[in-house]
Structure 1
C-alpha cells in the first residue's frame, strides 16, 4: 500500500510542476494597462558612436556567443578631444542573426518602456539625452556628449526596461530591470 501511495504522490507532484510551468510560461493579454510582456532580446553588440565633424570615436562591446560563454570584447577607437561637443548615437545589435537584428529599432518603438543611462567617472564630461518617448520623457538613443579638460576614466551605459519615468536621470532611481550594462575605459586628450 505504501508503494502505491508514493507513486500517486510522484504523479501528482509531476502534474503540479507541469501545470506551474504552463502558468508561468503563459500570460494574459487582458491587463488593465498598455504594458506588454517583455521578451528579452539577445544583445550581442553595443556600439556608441560619437561624432564631431571628422572626429569620430566609437565605443563597442561585442559578445557574439551571449552571456555565459567566452568573455565579450571592448574596443574604443581612440581618445575623445578635450573641450569638444560630440553628437552621440547608440546601436544595439543581435549579430547571431543574418542579417544582424537591429534591437535599437525595438527600443525606439517602445521608448516609453526603455531608457538609456550614461554614467562617467570623468567629472568634466556631461551627457544629455536628446530623444524623447511619446510622453515627452528621455530615451537616450541620441545624445550630446561634451568634454572638458583632459582626463581618463570610465563610461558606463545601461539600458533599463520599464524604468520609472520621469526619474532623476540616474539608473539608481529608475527601477525597472537592466537589459544591458557595459563599461568602457575612455580618455580625453
Structure 2
C-alpha cells in the first residue's frame, strides 16, 4: 500500500511539473520586445538643418540598396559658425514606389530606436529634442550648435533596441545598427 502511494505521488508531481511548463511556455510577456524584427531597407538618410534663411541638407542615398551602385553623399553647403540649427532626420526606402517613409516607423517604435549624431569637430554640439513614451531621447528632431570655423565629419547612427537610458553614446547604447552614415562637413 505504501509503494502504491509513492507511485501515485510521483505521478502527481510529474503531472504538476508538465502542467507548470505548459503554462509558462504559453504566457504572454508584455515586456518581450520583437528581437527578431525584420530590418527595414533604408536607402536614403536626409538630415536637414535650418537656422532661419540658412538651410543645410546632408543626404545619403543608396537607391539600389545592397546592389552594385555606389552610394552618394551630398552636403548642400557649409554650416555657419556660432549658429544654432534646428535639425530633422528623414529615412526612406526608395526601392518602393512610392517611397516608404521609415521615419514614421522609427517614431512609432521610439522606445526601440535612438539616433546618435556626433562630429569630429569638437565645437559642434548636438542635442536630441524629441523623446519616446518613456521620456528617453529618440533623435529624429535635434538642435545642432556650431562654434568656430573648421572642417571634419558628422556621423549619424540609428540603433535598434538600444539600452535606454544610456550615456548618450552609441557604444554605451548597445543594440544593433540599422544605419550609419558619415558626411564631410565644414563650418565657416
TM-score scaled by length of structure 1: 0.83
Q: Which residue does the alignment assign to 1:14?
A: none
Distance, in Å, in 2 between the alignment partners of 1:51 and 1:67 is: 31
Q: Residue 96 of structure 2 aligns to a residue in which SS?
A: coil
SS in 2 for 1:166: coil
The one-character-per-residue Cα deviations of 1:148-181 (angstroms, maximum 9, x if unpaired) are: 0000000000000000000000000001000000
**What is the CA distance between 1:99 and its match in structure 2?**
1.0
How many aligned residue pairs are there?
162
Higher deviation after alignment, 65-74 or 104-113: 65-74
**1:117 partnered with 2:109:** no
Q: CA distance change for structure 1 residues 68 and 32 in 2, over 3 Å: closer, same or farther?
A: same
Task: Indicate how the Cα distance of structure 1 residues 29 and 158 shifts in structure 2: closer, same or farther if over 3 A, else same.
Answer: farther
Let me know the Cα RMSD of the aligned residues: 1.5
- How far residue 68 of structure 1 moved from its aligned partner, in angstroms, is 4.6
* Equivalent-residue separation in structure 2 for 1:109 and 1:188 (angstroms): 34
SS at match of 1:106: helix
- Poorly superposed stretches of 4+, deviation over 4 Å: 28-32
Shift in alpha-carbon separation, 1:63–1:109, aligned structure 2, 3 A: same
Give the drift of 1:185: 0.2
Does residue 179 (structure 1) correspond to residue 182 (structure 2)? The answer is no
**Which ranges in structure 2 are unaligned for 5 or more consecutive residues?**
1-25
**Structure 1 residue 69: Cα displacement:** 2.2
Larger Rg: 2
Give the aligned partner of residue 11 of structure 1.
Answer: none
What is the CA-CA distance between 1:67 and the residue it aligns to?
Answer: 2.3
* Residue 98 of structure 2: aligned partner: 99
Contiguous gaps of at least 5 residues in structure 1: 1-27
